[in-house]
Every structure is written in C-alpha cells, then in structure tokens.
Amino acid sequence: MTAEPVTSSTAAPGAEYADTASAAYRAALQVIESVEPRIAAATRKELADQRDSLKLIASENYASPAVLLTMGTWLSDKYAEGTIGHRFYAGCQNVDVVESVAAEHARELFGAPYAYAQPHSGIDANLVAFWAILATRVEAPGLAELGAKHVNDLSETDWESLRNKLGNQRLLGMSLDAGGHLTHGFRPNISGKMFHQRSYGTDPETGLLDYDKLAAAAREFKPLILVGGYSAYPRRVNFAKLREIADEVGATLMVDMAHFAGLVAGKVFTGDEDPVPHAHVTTTTTHKSLRGPRGGLVLAQPEYSDAVDKGCPMVLGGPLSHVMAAKAVALAEARQPSFQAYAQRVADNAKALAEGFLKRGARLVTGGTDNHIVLLDVTSFGLTGRQAESALLDAGVVTNRNSIPADPNGAWYTSGIRFGTPALTTRGFGATEFDRVAELVVDVLNNTTPTQASSGPSKAKYTLADGTAERVHAASAEMLAANPLYPGLTL
C-alpha cells in the first residue's frame, strides 16, 4: 500500500484562511482569559488534546474554523421562537435570513422538499419528527392544531382525548444491540415510553439486516412509525425496501441518518441507499460525518412539513441562531465537490481499517464494513468493551465501547469497540494510516490482560503490558504530526 497524499480536493477546509482564523482565536482567547482564565485554559487544552490523540469515535469529527467561528457571535443573544417569518418575538429579521439560508442549503444538498434547521440536537430532531408524524397521522380533536394554537388553548377534554390516542401508537425501530439508537424506542429514552415499541434485529449468523424478517415483524406489529437508521451498524441499508415495507403496513417511514448524513451529502450513498427520497421524514445531526456544528436537522416530504415547521414551540425551546448560522456554513461547505471526495475517502478508509483488523485475525461484526463504522468484537482478545476502551485510551486511542448483537456483557460493559473514520479522514489519514491504526489497536489489545478480582473476573479492570502505551503513543504521534489538525492554526 502506498501513502496517498491529501490533495486539495480532499483536504479539510481551513488551511486557506488559517492565518486569519489564528488571529481571531488568539484575540478571542485573550478576551476569555481576562474574564475566566480557567475556561480559556480548558479551551486551549482541548485543542492540544484533540491534536494529540487518535480520535476514532464514529460520531465525532472536526468542524472547520469557519463553522466554529460562526458560533461565537451575538446571534446567540436573540430569542426567535416560532418559524421563519412567524416569530413570537420582534426583531427577528436577521434570524429569518440565517434560518432560511440554512434550510435552503439543506434542501439543495439533500434534494429534500422541506428542511427544518432548528433542532438543537439529534434527540430534538427525532422528537420533532415523532410529534410531526403523530400530529399528521393520528386523528384526535385538537391535535392537528396543536402547533398553531398555544397549548393552553386546548381544553382538558381535548388533552384527555389526545393522551388516549397518542398513548398507544406503535413504533418499530432497530434494537440497540443490533446497532439502533437510544431514541429509536429504547426503554430508557422517552421514545420507549411514549410509544408502544418493538425492535427489529439482525441475522444472528451474519449480523446483517434481514429485510424479510423485518417485513414479517412490521406485518405482525403494524407500527405507525417504522424507524430506519443506526448508530453502530457497519453496513449500508436499502431504504427503498424499508419504504416498501412501511407502505405495505401503512407506516410512516422515518429515517435517522445522523451517523451517515455525510455519506449521503457526499453522494457515497445514492439511489436505494439514500434515505431522503424514500423516507417520509428524515432526521440527522449536523456534527458527525456531516462535519458541521453540534445540532440537528429534519427533512420532510410535503405532507409532514407543516407539522415539522411547528417543532418550536411544540417540542423545542428558542432556536440557537448562532448554531443555525454555523449549520448554514457547514452545509455550504458540504455542497462543494471537495466534500464528495472527503465522503468517499471516509468510506474507503473504513474498508482499509476493517481489512487491517481482519488480516490480523480480529473478528468484526458483519465481517467488515461498507459505511464509516467498524465494530470490533473484543471477546476474542478475552476482554470486555470496557477494558478494551480504557486500555486503548491509555495508549492515546480514543474510541467507545459498544454492544454487539446478543452481547453477553450487556450495554454497560459490552463486548465491542466501535471505530469510525470521519474525524481522522478530515485530518488527512488515508488507507495506509488506517492500516497502521488497526495494527496499533491490535497491539494494545494483545497486550491487555483482564484482572481477576477476588470475587470473580472484573469486567472493568485490566493491566496493559509495560511499554505498550509508550510504543503506540510514539507511532501515532508520527502519523498525527504528518496530518495536523487545523493546519496553520496557531494560538
């Protein structure tokens, strides 16, 4: 394998204005320092820590300085509850521009008829979507008007009727251990409380989604909402098939593309693998593979757009105008051809990482990847996910432990480690570096021994053989130095 240089078509944005951004950050930190030096110090330290570690958390990335700088303005000071042109506060003319531009970029980028840029996070985006689907689909007096009326205008009888109708709606989503997300009906989340919920899993042998079984589960359960999307499933999904299943049982297809929105934006997932034309409602975060600020978005087909548009104040508090502005900037970046090259490289790098693990004898859930995620089963190293995560962190490799299907160690200790390629790809890592990352990870895990506690094996304790952390730190330092985070940015 030969090293692939990061060409200007795949490099992350920012180097071209690094001097200006450096001056802006130096000035900002000086001002912060004069008011609360501990915050300035923690902010500086965070940059140093991020620069010095191998960030492999699949849901993280590095937003460009333009995106980050956009968040630090007085747009934060404005209240703007309501929607574009219809606010509950005066003086929202500039926020209207900001929100319109963010929504316009989102519609153009994803080819969606309607986009809502207000959600503060992924869970907020999903709550907006749930309420919009309920408001559109469930027949109950007062429900359709809920967004338009102030909630206090509904009578107690209306509310009683609403509660009865809403309480038993059904939601079918991917189970957490198969790679689904907490907000897709998992019990500790409100989605698992507000809906009568069931999960679909993956094939126990292959770890792959079984569309026939999913269709059978949908026929039997007849959900109002079929949720597609995942946060730890290392494969692509055929959303056209999910829509067929939803249509057959009269369900609304809601897809949460938070993890892979960057691959959709970058046209790596097209046709049946692009959820936007198939789903009635699509939600996403903006900070993962999409490489924007921390926040959410909802895209909707026209029949759901009125209800989604009432997300604030139905579900959301005042919009974060500074973050919507940063979403607009990030979405503008994602519309550049360089973002498509980046997204392709994210997927290619995940394959290189998976191949790197497989050729060193490691076991991967589903046997590989075709998105940005690699899920390593660490039981073959005799470890729990918790032990592996901590040992890797000791060596400067930042990951997160994750359940694997039918996980014997449960959701706290787990048996898996989830890896993702978006962040290090932004730094410029290519296939050669990701093969080396696999080698370093395997080195750490081979040199980690679970500690036996007197009362039985502890699922959290371990020892790392002497010299391992230093060896891995040194090897990663070389790769990190060759692929600097925010090149040219000096504080």
Catalytic residues: 79, 81, 256, 285, 288, 294
Pick from 6, 10, 25, 57: nearest CA to 420: 57
Nearest distance from residue 69's CB to ligand DSN, in Å?
25
Site for ligand DSN in 442-461 (CB under 6 A): none
197 binds ligand DSN (CB under 6 A): no
Helix (H) or strand (E) holding 338: helix 337-358
Distance of closest approach, residue 415 Cβ to ligand DSN, in angstroms: 17
Within 10 angstroms of residue 444's Cβ, the number of other Cβ atoms is 23
Distance separating alpha carbons of residues 230 and 232, to the nearest angstrom? 6
Please, which residue, 63 or 69, has the CB nearer to ligand DSN? 63
φ, ψ at 95 (rounded to 5°): -65, -35
Paired tokens of 348: 């290619």
Q: Minimal distance in Å, beta carbon 59 to ligand DSN? A: 3
User: Taking the complex as a whole, how short is the minimal distance between the CB of residue 84 and ligand DSN, in angstroms?
Assistant: 27
Query: Are the C-beta atoms of 215 and 238 separated by less than 8 Å?
Result: no
Closer of 232 and 251 to ligand DSN (Cβ): 232
Please count the residues of this chain forming the interface with ligand DSN, following the rule CB under 6 A.
4
| 10 versus 284: smaller Cβ distance to ligand DSN | 284
Q: How far is the CB of 426 from ligand DSN (least distance, A)?
A: 17
**Residue facing ligand DSN at closest CB distance:** 59
What is the C-alpha separation between 222 and 213, in angstroms, rounded? 14
* Nearest residue (CB) to ligand DSN, 217 versus 392: 392
Contact by Cβ (8 Å): 362, 442: yes
Site string for ligand DSN, 162-181 (x = CB under 6 A): -------------------x
425 contributes a contact to ligand DSN by CB under 6 A: no
> What is the contact mask toward ligand DSN in residues 3 to 42, using x (rule: CB under 6 A)?
----------------------------------------
Q: Which of residues 231 and 426 has its CB atom nearest to ligand DSN in the complex?
A: 231
Shortest Å distance, C-beta 400 to ligand DSN: 6
Q: Which of residues 365-424 bind ligand DSN (CB under 6 A)?
A: none
Distances (CA, A) of 386 to 175, 251, 378: 21, 38, 10
Contact with ligand DSN (CB under 6 A) among 59, 175, 371, 468:
59
Are 230 and 180 contacting, i.e. CB atoms less than 8 angstroms apart? yes
For the sheet with 296-300, list strands across it.
114-116, 296-300, 281-285, 252-256, 225-229, 170-174, 196-200
Number of H helices, E strands in the chain: 19, 17
Return the residue of 53, 169, 231, 289 that touches ligand DSN, per CB under 6 A.
Answer: 231
What sign results for the dihedral spanned by CA atoms 187, 189, 194, 200? negative
122 binds ligand DSN (CB under 6 A): yes
**Which of 105/288 has CB closer to ligand DSN?**
288
Q: Are 202 and 151 in contact (CB under 8 A)?
A: no
**Placement of tokens 């930042």 in the chain:** 398
CB of 286 to ligand DSN, least distance (A): 12
First and final C-alpha spacing in the chain: 36
Both tokens of 7, joined, read: 């060409």
Residue numbers of the site for ligand DSN (CB under 6 A)? 59, 122, 181, 231
